[in-house]
Chains A and B, each alone.
Chain A
C-alpha cells in the first residue's frame, strides 16, 4: 500500500493538526462557542493536505538544531495563513463549496467571513510577533512577503480574467506568486528556524518554488481531468470563471478550438463550455501541460541535487516522488 505523504516524510500529522487547532483554542480573546471559533475549527477539520506545514517540517530537518515545538508552531502558522487565503479566495470566486462542504462565507455571510480570514492572519502575526530580533526576521516572511506575493498573483488573475491573450510568461509569473512562493517560503522558513545555512535554505527555496509550480500546473490539469466529486467543485470551474490556465493557453494554439475558447465569457452557454472542455481533453493541451509540469519537477530535482549528501536529502526525494506521481 502506498504511504501517505506525512507517513513517507515521517511527520506526526496528528501533532501538527493539534498545533493548528491550538492556535484558535488557546486564543483567550475568542469565545469558545462563538461562530468564529466554530467556523475556523470546522474549516481546519474539513481536511486539506497540510502540504505547507509538512514543507516547514521537512525544511527544518536541514538545520543543525533539532526540530521541536518552534517548528511545529511555524508549521501550524503556515497552514493558518493558507486557510485564511482560502476563505477570501472562496468569496472572490463565489464558491459555495470547499472540500465538498459549504464554504465558510455560505455559512456566516460574506462580511463575517472576510473578517474571520483577517482574524486568522492577525492571529498568526500576533503569535509570530514575539520574534523581533534580526536573527528571527525570516519568520515574518510567511505573513509579509509570501502573503503579499499571493495577493499579487491574485491581482494578476483578476486582471487577466477572460484574457485569452495572456502570455505564457505572464501565466508562469502569476502561478509563481499565487502558489509557488508560499510553498518555497515554508521550506526556507523551516530550514532557517533550525539554523540551516543560508545557502541550504536558498536551495530549498528554489526546490520548493519549482515544486510549487508543478503543483499548480497539476491543479490546472485536474480541472479538466478529475471528477467533480474528487475536486469538490464542478470540473472545468477555472474555464467557466475565465481563468486562463496552462491547458487553455496551449489549446489556444489550436486554430480550430481557439475561436470557441475566445468566445467564452461570463454568460456563455453550457453547450459552449462543454464543447471546449471536450476539445481540450481530446487535444494535445493536457499532454503539453504535463510536459511543463515535468519540466518543473526536473528543475526541482536539479535544485535539490547539491543537497544530496545531507542526511535529510531523502525528504526531498519523497516530496519529488509525491508531487511527481499524481497526474501521470
Chain B
C-alpha cells in the first residue's frame, strides 16, 4: 500500500477544511504528543494506557508511528493536536481498514475530529484501491466519537457485545462503517 508522502493533497484540503492539516508525526513532535498521551480523558477510550514517561512516547513514535502504514498528526498551524490512523488488513480481509483518531482535550468540541475523518475518507480509497470498507469501533459509552463518525457519513451497523477488554473490563463496542461507494459528507 502506498504511503502518502506528498503534501499537495493536504494543501488543497487546507482550503476546504480551513484550520487543520494532516502530516506524518516524527520524533520532534514528542512534546506535543505528550500533551494528549498523558491525559486520562484522552486515553479513557483508547487501547493504550496513559503515558507517564517521555521515553515511552519516543519508543512508541519510533516503533509504532513511524513504520505505520498510515498514521498522521492532526495539526493546527503545523503543530500536532491529535492523531488519526488507518490500519489495513491482508489477504481476504484487505478490503477493510480500521480508522482510529484522537484529539487533545483542549481542542474538543470544535469539529476537529470530524474534519480529520472527512479528510481521510476523501483520500484513503484512492490511496488504497483494494479498500472498500473503512470501519470504526467505538465504546458504547463514547457517544461523542459516534457522532464524529456519523457526521462524516459512517453508518452504524450494530453493537458488538463484550467485544474487547479496555482498561481492565470487557466493553460493548459500536461498529460503524463507510464504504468506498457511500456518499462522502
Chain B associates with chain A: no
Binding site for B on A (CB under 8 A): none
